[in-house]
Structure 1
Amino acid sequence: MPISLGGTGAKTASDARSNLGVPQLNGSNEFFGTQTFNDLIKVKTSSGSGNAHLWFFDTDGAKSRGVIFASASSTGRISVRPDSTSDGYSCSFDSAGKFTCATLSQTSDERLKKGITQVTGALDKLMQLRGLTYQLRVTQDTWVDGAGVLAQELEKVLPCAVAISGEGVDSEGNTIQDAKSVDYSALSALYVEAFKELVERINRIDIEIEGLRGVKF
């Protein structure tokens, strides 16, 4: 019976799913082929103590490429685990806005960059920043303890290290649409050059002291 009359327009279950836009499943309730979801996907566990998993496998279904999961023992945390064989290290995101991983590596190959310019006046720029501890509001009801610098202060001396990260909640509970974030790895440019500037100053002082030692009063 055609779809216009309330049917599926197909003779097989697979064709019916295709005609009706229902995701294709195999005998193990696994998606296969290209799927399009216009709204949302709900992943439920079989018991209250189980983990909710969204698995990704090779075509043979034997090798896991990775998994997104929510553990029953860590409510408020989502973990992502890319697999190479049968397991892998999990990176996690929690409801307090914390991202946890073993290491973090950022692309920094010289061959991929242009407009390379050495930072100058790094020590002076660092002296304009304050090292602070604070509480950061991440939701209407959640605050997290932190330490670092203020984006607005860093923006004055190293604008490329500051970006608009999106929506946030201020200390009064008001929604901020253009909350700013800091690329803390970019601060390493200030640290490196400021250290070199200090070493140069120390070397000049050493030379001056040696010169004074040879002067007779």
Structure 2
Amino acid sequence: MPITDLPTPPTRADAANFNARADAFLGALPTFAAQANALAVEANGYASNASASAATAVNAPGTSATSTTSLGIGAGSKSLTIQTAKAFVVGQWVTVTNTAAPANWMHGQITAYNSGTGTLVVSVSAIGGSGTYGAWTIGLSAPAQSSAALLSTSSYADPVWLTSLAASKVTGTVQISNGGTGAATGADARNNLDVPSRSGVGAAGTWGISISGSAASANTATTATLAGTANALNISGSYQVGSIGIGTAASGMAGEIRATGDITAYFASDALLKENVQPITGALSAVLGIGGKTFDWRDSHIAARGGEDGLFVRKADFGVLAQDVEEVFPLAVRVRSNGQMAVDYAKLTALAFQAIVELKAEIDALQEQIIAPTEKGG
């Protein structure tokens, strides 16, 4: 609560204003006193709340405590003096642990607790360590199952109550009837789990196989015995792959096929499939414009195709330039999705054939020009 400042008090050094200041100062005193008293009440309330909070903090949590009672570790009734106003009740199980050396402890059941005096009595049934100590930490614990329910830190032996369960331990092969399949036989278990048998019995029908993640990059497989045409692709189906290697590893370049042997294929070319058939015009001129080139592939292209191998990829090479072909015969050029040009080399043979026809026609014409004057002169 705020307190109003008092006016300037009177002083004999300022005789002229003494009376006025004295009146103002005395007049303000009642308000000051009322405000000061109210602040004192408020401060006392804070002090009371703080005291209560401190008491709560000391007593909380209500089921843990400390004691300086000197006790020797051992079984039987043990009496300690702890904090008052705790929430311990008769019948609870607690562990009384030496604060400095937790390996020394006593475990038992509360038989009495006086919240007014702090007297706590515990009937100890299990112990760990030995000696007499005067600093303890007390806390709730799980009930003991037997005299050996708690393990000593120096012992790795099974407690008696665990050892007694040896007859029911699961050892060896777990029987199907105990496997959670809801079946007593292998056949019934597979049927319940919708799994075919290894021998193929009960495996009729279509079984979908989905491979993803690291399994998709596996390069080995265990040997399997497959019957009939199990190794064959479904010839009525359609398949799409990134790249193919026949007799060699796939290049990894999308759409590329590599084969160490011959690739035998026939392209659809029946006249019944075509219309508006016309001879190529200017074939000889186009062939002369395209020409043939020797060149070196750029290192970036070689690296993208897996590096130079002397068979499929080599630095020095020969062929044509797609830009030259596009300029004189654009039908033989395609632009791929990456923006690079590709040439239909197989169909360029038709251009070469027609160029030969045109060249033959020119030769025939020249021959006629040479022969005609000779005949006239004869």
Question: 1:65: Cα distance to partner?
Answer: 2.4
Match of 1:3 in 2: none
The one of 334, 348, 365 equivalent to 1:163 is 334
Question: 1:131: Cα distance to partner?
Answer: 0.7
Question: 1:119: Cα distance to partner?
Answer: 0.6
Matched-pair contact (CA < 8 Å) for 2:283–2:352: yes
Q: Distance in 2 between matches of 1:207 and 1:193?
A: 21
Of 184-193 and 102-111, more deviation after overlay is shown by 102-111
The one of 196, 208, 231 equivalent to 1:35 is 208
Partner of 1:120, secondary structure, is coil
Partner of 2:269, secondary structure, is coil
Q: Distance in 1 between matches of 2:271 and 2:368?
A: 36
Partner of 2:268, secondary structure, is coil
Q: CA RMSD in A?
A: 4.1
Question: 1:95: Cα distance to partner?
Answer: 5.8
Partner of 1:114, secondary structure, is coil
> Superposition pairs for residues 76-155 of structure 1, below 5 Å?
79-80=245-246, 93-94=250-251, 99-100=258-259, 101-102=261-262, 103-136=264-297, 137-140=301-304, 142-143=307-308, 144-145=313-314, 146-155=317-326
Match of 2:163 in 1: none
1:44-80 alpha-carbon deviations (Å, 9 max, x no partner):
426xxxxx99x9x7xxx223426xxxxxxxxxx9545
- For residue 307 of structure 2, what is the amino acid of its counterpart? T
Q: Distance in 2 between matches of 1:111 and 1:14?
A: 57
- For residue 157 of structure 1, what is the amino acid of its counterpart? V
Q: Distance in 2 between matches of 1:15 and 1:138?
A: 55
Residues 189 and 15 from structure 1, CA distance in 2 versus in 1: closer, same or farther, beyond 3 angstroms? farther
Match of 1:195 in 2: 356
Question: 1:154: Cα distance to partner?
Answer: 0.7
- For residue 99 of structure 1, what is the amino acid of its counterpart? R
Query: Could you list the runs of 5+ residues in structure 1 that have no partner in the other structure?
Result: 1-6, 19-23, 47-51, 67-76, 81-89, 167-176
The one of 45, 66, 70 equivalent to 2:220 is 45
Q: Distance in 2 between matches of 1:195 and 1:149?
A: 18
Question: 1:164: Cα distance to partner?
Answer: 2.3
Q: Distance in 1 between matches of 2:307 and 2:249?
A: 18
The structure number with the bigger radius of gyration is 2
- For residue 189 of structure 1, what is the amino acid of its counterpart? A
Give the TM-score normalised by the residue count of structure 2. Answer: 0.35
If asked which structure has higher relative contact order (CA below 8 Å, sep 6+), I would say: 1
- For residue 318 of structure 2, what is the amino acid of its counterpart? A
Of 206-215 and 122-131, more deviation after overlay is shown by 206-215
Question: 1:104: Cα distance to partner?
Answer: 3.4
Match of 1:83 in 2: none
Give the TM-score normalised by the residue count of structure 1. Answer: 0.57
Identity %: 23
- For residue 326 of structure 2, what is the amino acid of its counterpart? E
Match of 1:204 in 2: 365
Query: Could you list the runs of 5+ residues in structure 2 that have no partner in the other structure?
Result: 1-179, 182-187, 234-242
Matched-pair contact (CA < 8 Å) for 2:245–2:257: no
- For residue 329 of structure 2, what is the amino acid of its counterpart? L
Residues 207 and 79 from structure 1, CA distance in 2 versus in 1: closer, same or farther, beyond 3 angstroms? same
Match of 1:172 in 2: none
Partner of 1:133, secondary structure, is strand
Q: Distance in 2 between matches of 1:36 and 1:164?
A: 37
- For residue 178 of structure 1, what is the amino acid of its counterpart? G
Question: 1:112: Cα distance to partner?
Answer: 2.4
Q: Distance in 1 between matches of 2:302 and 2:328?
A: 26
Residues 39 and 211 from structure 1, CA distance in 2 versus in 1: closer, same or farther, beyond 3 angstroms? same
Question: 1:37: Cα distance to partner?
Answer: 3.7
Question: 1:36: Cα distance to partner?
Answer: 6.1
Matched pairs, number: 165
